[in-house]
């Protein structure tokens, strides 16, 4: 059984005081150091056995750092698209230009910087901290496998989840985990933008991709905190079990609409217990090959009450569907696909529809203290806008790749106080539509209502068929 070696190997028998993600939420977030900065400085000696623990200084952001001054992490790209960076951040992200900036930027450079900032905002808004479609509680046990008076689709899903729980380490081991920590690196890029008459692809993706990292803390029941830094900007979000909040450089701190929901990033191979709870009421809809691996497909849908609670003003969440693909060979989750459709009606005009689809592939499963954790993966996101004239339809494609570097369970010193929302939180809730491209949310009256209904019906059929195309059906009606 493999055990991850990281800085926690030097802390056996010690109680870590102040290891708190809440310490990163100062009154002035722009002046506080990022946990990625301190954690990644420690990466220089990662993998080496430490014989004598050195004196520890507790970082403000909930991580351990050496006694040195950290440069502040910018809350957003500066006006010139150039940020300052520490030595550790330079090793781990892209190197910022340090040349003289006295000359005024040219019009072309200003335009390029504006596009880059817009892409960065879109990446962080959509991929930074998305939530799962429904509320679940990891404290609730999985239902007992039942065949009598149970539809075959439901009983098959329960059996698949039992196999998944066993393959992930077992229910007894997972029940002994009270909190968890994970750190990883990410690379994101807005790779393609398509309109009715033009397709723009991001050339030289290896050079234009934004690099960054994230830290994730979780604690029972249903508490989590994530901080993600990318391209000089930072997004952090959290949940105290009763309220989900998020802080972005462009919106500040705000509460999320709707019921408390898990962080989608935790479902991507980091939290098997919450993943199993997410699919408790799922149906098994068939089988499909994913990367030459035969998989069972489990499907869950957000209920109308949840969708209504997440809607706000002119923005209405029509549906949110999640598909989980579980390997028949290993029992583990290897692919996650979800899609939600939003309708926006502004100023009495015709409606505009947004469909956001995220496909995540999970890889490199390895045991950490007996729990199987996916240590790498990638996501492909499609943001499709339609509803008015066909010439105004757009499709944006984004990609993300991540690597998990450290995972630890039952971290000493982590308490409920670490997940308290920031004091400056505006309790006015914000819908997911606030992250859609600002320049494309204006509604133009052009198409009749009947055309919308036809298009939405066709999209619903395509969505159902998207996960069921090439499906090998094995169950009776």
CB atoms within 10 A of CB 367: 14
The closest alpha carbon to 64, from 2, 9, 27, 3, belongs to 9
The long-range contacts involving 81-87, CB below 8 angstroms and separated by at least 24 positions, are 81/112, 81/113, 81/116, 81/117, 83/231, 83/232, 85/232, 86/37, 86/41
**What is d(CA 152, CA 172) in angstroms, rounded to the nearest whole number?**
27
Q: How do residues 114-132 score in pLDDT, each as one tens digit? A: 666 777 888 898 999 999 9
pTM of the shown model = 0.72
Q: What burial letters (b/e) apply to 150-189, b meaning 16+ CB within 10 Å?
A: eeebbbbbbebbbbbbebbbebebbeebebbbbbbbbbbb
The closest alpha carbon to 381, from 342, 337, 316, belongs to 337
Q: What burial letters (b/e) apply to 427-444, b meaning 16+ CB within 10 Å?
A: eebbbbbbbbbeeebebe
- State the pLDDT at residue 192: 85
Q: Is the pLDDT of residue 327 over 90?
A: yes
Within a domain: residue 64?
A: no
- State the pLDDT at residue 461: 53
- State the pLDDT at residue 21: 61
CB-CB contact of 110 with 130 (8 Å): no
- State the pLDDT at residue 390: 67
CB atoms within 10 A of CB 453: 10
Within a domain: residue 129?
A: yes
Within a domain: residue 401?
A: yes
Within a domain: residue 1?
A: no
Q: How do residues 282-300 score in pLDDT, each as one tens digit? A: 999 999 999 999 999 999 9
What is the mean predicted confidence (pLDDT) over 67-72?
Answer: 42
- DSSP letters spanning 274-335: HHHHHTTT-EEEEEEEETTEEEEEEEEE--HHHHHHH-BTTEEEEEEEEEEEEETTT--EEE
Residue 97 structure tokens: 């230009």
**What is d(CA 318, CA 341) in angstroms, rounded to the nearest whole number?**
5
The closest alpha carbon to 284, from 111, 158, 427, belongs to 158
Strands (DSSP E) found in 176-222: 179-194, 199-201, 210-219
Within a domain: residue 24?
A: no
CB-CB contact of 7 with 56 (8 Å): no
Q: How do residues 220-264 score in pLDDT, each as one tens digit? A: 989 999 999 998 899 999 999 999 999 988 888 889 888 999 999
- State the pLDDT at residue 345: 84
Q: Domain range holding 383? A: 122-468
- State the pLDDT at residue 377: 97
Over 419-441, what HEC string results? Answer: HCCCCCCEEEEECHHHHCCHHHC
DSSP category for residue 372? E
Q: What percent of the chain has pLDDT over 90?
A: 44
Res. 428 pLDDT band, cuts 50 70 90: low
**What is d(CA 444, CA 347) in angstroms, rounded to the nearest whole number?**
10
Residue labelled with tokens 């068929």: 465
The closest alpha carbon to 112, from 83, 85, 80, 84, belongs to 80
Q: How do residues 170-229 score in pLDDT, each as one tens digit? A: 999 999 999 999 999 999 998 888 887 778 887 656 667 889 999 999 999 899 999 999
Q: How do residues 77-121 score in pLDDT, each as one tens digit? A: 343 343 443 333 333 333 322 333 334 445 544 555 666 677 788
Question: What domain count does the chain have?
Answer: 1
Of 458 and 430, the structure prediction assigns the larger pLDDT to 430
Of 372 and 115, the structure prediction assigns the larger pLDDT to 372
Q: Is the pLDDT of residue 387 over 60?
A: yes
Helix (H) or strand (E) holding 388: none
Of 148-157, 228-237, 372-381, which range is least confident? 148-157
Within a domain: residue 358?
A: yes
**What is d(CA 140, CA 273) in angstroms, rounded to the nearest whole number?**
10
Half-sphere exposure of 321 (CA within 13 A, CB side): 20
User: Which phi and psi angles does 22 have, rounded to 5°?
Assistant: -70, -20
What is the helix, strand, coil percentage profile of the chain, to 5?
25, 35, 40
- State the pLDDT at residue 322: 97
**What is d(CA 245, CA 259) in angstroms, rounded to the nearest whole number?**
11
Q: Is 224 exposed, middle or buried (0-12, 13-18, 19+ CB in 10 A)?
A: buried
Within a domain: residue 86?
A: no
Mean pLDDT taken over the chain: 74
For residue 420, CA distances in Å to 23, 36, 239, 412 come to 10, 20, 8, 18
Within a domain: residue 52?
A: no
């Amino acid at each position: 059984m493999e055990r991850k070696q990281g800085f926690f190997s030097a802390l056996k028998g010690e109680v870590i005081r102040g290891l708190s993600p809440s310490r990163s939420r100062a009154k002035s977030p722009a002046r506080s150091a990022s946990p990625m900065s301190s954690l990644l400085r420690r990466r220089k000696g990662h993998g080496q056995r430490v014989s004598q623990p050195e004196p520890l200084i507790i970082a403000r952001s909930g991580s351990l750092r050496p006694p040195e001054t950290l440069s502040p992490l910018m809350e957003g790209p500066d006006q010139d698209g150039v940020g300052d960076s520490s030595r550790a951040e330079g090793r781990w992200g892209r190197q910022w230009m340090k040349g003289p900036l006295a000359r005024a930027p040219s019009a072309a450079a200003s335009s390029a910087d504006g596009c880059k900032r817009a892409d960065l905002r879109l990446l962080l808004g959509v991929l930074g901290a998305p939530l799962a479609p429904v509320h679940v509680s990891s404290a609730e046990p999985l239902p007992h496998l039942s065949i009598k008076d149970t539809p075959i689709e439901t009983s098959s899903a329960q059996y698949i989840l039992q196999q998944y729980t066993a393959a992930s380490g077992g229910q007894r081991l997972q029940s002994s985990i009270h909190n968890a920590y994970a750190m990883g690196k990410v690379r994101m890029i807005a790779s393609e933008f398509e309109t009715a008459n033009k397709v723009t692809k991001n050339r030289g993706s290896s050079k234009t991709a934004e690099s960054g990292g994230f830290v994730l803390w979780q604690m029972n029941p249903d508490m989590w905190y994530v901080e993600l830094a990318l391209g000089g900007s930072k997004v952090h979000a959290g949940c105290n079990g009763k309220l989900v909040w998020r802080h972005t450089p462009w919106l500040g701190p705000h509460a999320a609409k709707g019921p408390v929901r898990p962080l989608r990033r935790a479902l991507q191979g980091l939290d098997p217990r919450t993943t199993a709870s997410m699919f408790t009421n799922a149906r098994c809809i068939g089988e499909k090959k994913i990367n030459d691996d035969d998989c069972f497909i489990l499907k869950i849908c957000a209920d109308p009450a949840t969708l209504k609670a997440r809607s706000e003003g002119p923005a209405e969440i029509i549906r949110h569907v999640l598909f989980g693909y579980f390997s028949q060979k290993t029992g583990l989750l290897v692919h996650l696909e979800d899609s939600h459709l939003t309708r926006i009606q502004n100023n009495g005009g015709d409606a505009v529809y947004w469909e956001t689809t995220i496909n995540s592939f999970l890889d490199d499963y390895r045991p950490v203290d007996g729990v199987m954790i996916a240590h790498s993966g990638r996501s492909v996101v499609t943001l499709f806008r339609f509803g008015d004239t066909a010439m105004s339809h757009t499709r944006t494609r984004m990609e993300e790749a991540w690597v998990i570097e450290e995972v630890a369970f039952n971290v000493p010193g982590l308490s409920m106080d670490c997940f308290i929302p920031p004091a400056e939180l505006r309790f006015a809730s914000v819908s997911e539509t606030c992250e859609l491209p600002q320049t494309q949310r204006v509604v133009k009256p052009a198409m009749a209502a009947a055309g919308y209904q036809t298009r939405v019906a066709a999209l619903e059929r395509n969505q159902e068929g998207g996960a069921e195309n090439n499906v090998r059906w094995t169950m009776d009606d």
